[in-house]
Amino acid sequence: MTNLYIPRTTKTPDIFFDLEMGNFEIKGRSIPENSVDFYSQVMQWLAEYETNPNNTTNLNVKLEYFNTSSSKCLIDIFRRLEKIHTVSTQVEVHWYYETEDDDMRESGEDFRDLVKMPVVLHEVTSDISERIS
């Protein structure tokens, strides 16, 4: 198994899953034409990762915007990580949102309420897509 890297486009986020460190990042804008197709590679990678996860796994979500179909895919990713969390390892999701972006903060709160694993909200004061790589 190798790291997963999907470069950002104007409609899709930068995705980097670092297998060795157990650090995953989804960053940018998620408004693909077909979210299920776009995120299918991520779900396949996570299915394989689930068979031998790291002791600690962190997902950093730094989205400036996502559409409804991406929301469904994100919850699928969170559910997969939740399964890993409840079975064998410590998993945390870190949800970043800009200070004035109430919608993104509320989305993070909603996701946190839907899963049984830590979802930590982080308020940032500058452009989320340029923040913490």
Phi, psi dihedrals of residue 34, rounded to the nearest 5°: -135, 100
Give me the number of domains the chain comprises: 1
CB 95 within 8 A of CB 120: yes
Residue 121 domain boundaries = 4-130
Burial class (CB in 10 A: 0-12, 13-18, 19+), 93: buried
Compute mean pLDDT per 10 residues along the chain, 133 residues long, and list them.
Answer: 94 95 95 96 94 92 95 95 84 94 95 94 76 42
Residue 1's pLDDT is 85
Domain at 45, CATH number: 3.30.750
The strand pairing partners of 15, in sequence order, are: 6, 26
pLDDT at position 87, please?
Answer: 73
Which ranges of 1-133 does DSSP label H, i.e. alpha helix? 35-49, 68-87, 102-114
Quote the pTM value: 0.89
Identify residue 73 by its one-letter amino acid code.
C
